[in-house]
Amino acid sequence: ILNHISANYVTIAKDYSGTHVLQALLDKSNNNLIQEQIVLNAIRDKEIEMAYDNNATHVLQKIVTTISEERREKLNEVILSNLQNLCFNSNGNCLVKKMIKETKSIDNMTKITNIITEYCIEIAQDPYGNYVIQYLFEEWDKNCIAPIIDILIENISSLSIQKFSSNVSEKLIELVDDDKKVIIFNKLFAERELLSVLKNKYGRFVLQKAVKIMQKEKKEEIKNSL
């Protein structure tokens, strides 16, 4: 079946019904190297076209989750080289999240971290990209994404007063270790920062999150300083 349809694989993937057929075939591949290679050859040079398509993106995501990381090296390279733009797209960011979940090699994890670190402020502020960063917090060890966390903490006040990045700020407060929480609290409640965050409807949610998880001693310290 795969040999018969391989020449039209991408066209079928873009079809509302065809996408389900190809996903079902991928589920039945059972790590068959020959079948996997037919699929990877069929999508070559069309990966990004598929990533942005409403139907074909689900086939591409299924490929990422059913074909092991080391056997889809070319696809990994294509996704990595387009990672920033994929984060800014409703379909692309779903593919990036699948990639994050299925990435186990230190080399690929480092590449993803480096790219997102370079563009993390823009990605955090994006309607779709902010979900990618939140997903990283949930899936990967905090030591792996330390450079991203440090940049976000440095810009926590400005991120907290914007609609989409305020969600990142809240997630950051929840998930970082206690030492970094203290740094965040000190930045958010600093005299020169607090008023602008407090006056903003998104910023108030971030401050409420901070107060909710703050230890009693820190609350007293901040109250006294205010």
pLDDT digits (tens, 9 = 90+) for 22-40: 999 999 988 899 999 999 9
Cα–Cα distance for residue pair 20/126, rounded to 1 Å: 30
pLDDT at 226: 81
pLDDT at 223: 87
Asked if residues 19 and 56 have their Cβ atoms less than 8 Å apart, the reply is: yes
Mean pLDDT on 87-104: 97
Mean pLDDT on 118-132: 97
pLDDT at 27: 93
- H helix runs in 140-177, sequence order: 146-154, 156-160, 165-175
- Residues of the chain with pLDDT > 70, as a percent, come to 100
- Answer whether residue 167 shows pLDDT above 90: yes
Length in residues, the chain: 226
Other C-beta atoms lying within 10 Å of the C-beta of residue 174? 14
Of the candidate ranges 11-20, 106-115, 130-139, 214-223, the one whose mean pLDDT is the lowest? 214-223
pLDDT at 67: 96
pLDDT at 191: 79
Checking 169-176 for CB contacts under 8 A at 24+ apart, the result is 169/206, 169/209, 170/205, 170/206, 170/209, 171/133, 171/134, 171/137, 172/137, 173/206, 173/209, 173/210, 173/213, 174/209, 174/213, 175/137, 175/138, 175/142, 176/142, 176/149
